[in-house]
Every structure is written in C-alpha cells, then in structure tokens.
Amino acid sequence: MLMATLMEMDTFESRDLYRRAEIQIKRGRFREASALLTHALKISPDNPIYVSYLGYCVGMLG
C-alpha cells in the first residue's frame, strides 16, 4: 500500500527512470542505474525508494 501511494505521487517520467534503473541493477550495471536514479530524484526528490536504491548502487560501486 505504501509503495503504491509513493508511486502515485511521482510523474510518469520518474517512474520510467526508476523502472529502467531496476533493470540495470538486475544486470549489475550500478553506475548506469545510479545515473537514472539521480535523474529520477531531480524530478521526485522526496521519494524514499529512489533514495534507497541510489544508496544501494553507490554502496555496490564501493
């Protein structure tokens, strides 16, 4: 329910960027995912899911 509510607050563009970042994460492409999530956060800066995934990517990059 919380996830659905957070996603409703976002724009189509930020959701698309997030979905593309998820694909990159699954492929182990953390640098590409970080760039996508950074862009998504410029559009929807208050989304904690995007922040969390970006932190994960940064951690994986070392």
In the prediction, which pLDDT does 13 show? 92
Letter for the amino acid at 23?
Answer: I
Q: State residue 46 phi and psi, 5-degree precision.
A: -95, 10
pLDDT greater than 60 at residue 47 = yes
Instruction: Residue 33: name the closest of 11, 9, 8, 56 by CA.
Output: 56
Question: For the chain, what is the radius of gyration of the CA atoms?
Answer: 11
**pLDDT one-digit tens code per residue, 21-45:** 999 999 999 999 999 999 999 999 9
Q: What tokens appear for 54 in the block?
A: 């970006």
